[in-house]
Amino acid sequence: MGGSRSAPNPLLAGQVAIVTGAGRGVGRDIALLLAAHGACVLVNDLGASASGDGHDSGPAAAVAKEIEEAGGDAVSNSASVTEFANAEAMVSQAIERFGRLDIIVNNAGILRDSIFHKMSEADWDSVIAVHLKGSFNLARAAAPVLRAQGSGRMIHMTSNSGLIGNFGQANYIAAKLGIAGLSRAVALDMARFNVTSNVVAPQAWSRLIGVIPTETEEERTRVERFKQMTPGKIANLVVALAADAAQHITGQIFVCRGNEIHLMSQPRPVRSFARSDGWEPETILTSAFPAMQDALTPLERSNDVFGWDAI
């Protein structure tokens, strides 16, 4: 994938985007495709390992250079999204360089997987800090700018692990499901200013997916499926959500896997029961719970729900 502007009338001409975690994988392809459709891009990436260790400005700088060599306009930033001041500085940098800000894509992430009863506080805190707090930081830093101009797009990355479930990822699941809630709240609060907020759960091969254990045949098959799903497919959905024509799409959750796009349900009552004389623990156990039994959500993982090979 390249960052050239191939369309005669670019979909995002004159717009400015910030993409976090854009030095590699899904974020890189998002930054390149935004640029290919006419957006100026601030490419942010700490350049850390998949677990969040280290700092290298090289990945962000390389993607910004790739965009510029293809005829686009980009600038790099290698600050951590975990600090609110860094998010404010990104917004200021984008405005100083390009004159405005229209789109933010909260893509930065790390993994520190561990079965729950062995998970350390440090591993919990670090994953929450990058995914959930990092998403809040950039969204909150950008909000006053987007509010003042009366337009904007916020696109955040959730995960099927967060929406459905997985083993050994309590920190990641909590952060990713929290991002879905954050996006919904932002969509409600910012709708009056014509600012949209949506989340995308990407299924694509990346270095984070590359740390999934492959000790069993089932795990090896799962990883091989992921390898067939390239990051560029996610970028197409992100660009579409960033377009002016998607103004009416907000507060939604999408899953993108291969050539499939799924609009996900959001929590709503599935069964309701009431008693005019109220409930006691015993009547809940003997009446309400049995009546709800066939509507209970099973303990499933992402692969149980999306059990077919992606198209």
DSSP characters over the chain: ------SSS-TTTT-EEEETTTTSHHHHHHHHHHHHTT-EEEEE-----TTS----SHHHHHHHHHHHHTT--EEEE---TTSHHHHHHHHHHHHHHHS---EEEE-------B-GGG--HHHHHHHHIIIIIHHHHHHHHHHHHHHHHT-EEEEEE--HHHHT--TTBHHHHHHHHHHHHHHHHHHHHHGGGTEEEEEEEEE---TTGGGS---SHHHHHHHHHHHTS-THHHHHHHHHHHSGGGTT--S-EEEEETTEEEEPP----S-----TT---HHHIIIIIHHHHGGGSPP---HHHHS-SPP-
Select the more confidently predicted residue: 181 or 301: 181
**pLDDT tier at 4 (50, 70, 90 boundaries)?**
very low
What does the chain come to in residues? 311
On average, the pLDDT of the chain sits at 92
Residue 1 has pLDDT above 50, yes or no: no
> Average pLDDT in the 190-203 region?
97
> Average pLDDT in the 137-147 region?
98
Alpha-carbon distance of 25 to 30, in angstroms, equals: 9
pLDDT of residue 64: 98
> Average pLDDT in the 40-65 region?
91
- Tell me which residues are annotated as active site: 172
* % of the chain with per-residue pLDDT over 90: 79
CA proximity to 205, closest of 222, 186, 185, 189: 222
Which amino acid is located at 20 in the chain?
A: T
Residue 62 has pLDDT above 90, yes or no: yes
Question: Taking the domains of the chain in order of start, what are their residue ranges?
Answer: 16-267
Question: For 243-252, how does the pLDDT look when each residue is reduced to its tens digit (9 = 90+)?
Answer: 999 999 999 9
CA angle 13–67–137, rounded 5-degree value: 75
pLDDT of residue 151: 98
> Average pLDDT in the 97-108 region?
98
Q: What is the pTM of this model?
A: 0.90
**Strands laid side by side in the 152-157 sheet:** 74-77, 40-44, 16-19, 103-106, 152-157, 195-203, 253-257, 260-263
Residue 155 has pLDDT above 60, yes or no: yes
Lookup: tokens for 107:
């893509």
pLDDT of residue 55: 79
pLDDT of residue 206: 59
pLDDT of residue 48: 82
> Average pLDDT in the 265-284 region?
95
Residue with tokens 């991002």: 179
pLDDT of residue 208: 55
Q: Which segment of 14-28, 130-144, 217-231, 241-255 scores lowest on mean pLDDT?
A: 217-231
One CATH from 3.30.70.1140, 3.40.50.720, 3.40.30.10, 3.40.80.10 for 16-267 = 3.40.50.720
Select the more confidently predicted residue: 78 or 203: 78
Alpha-carbon distance of 28 to 167, in angstroms, equals: 28
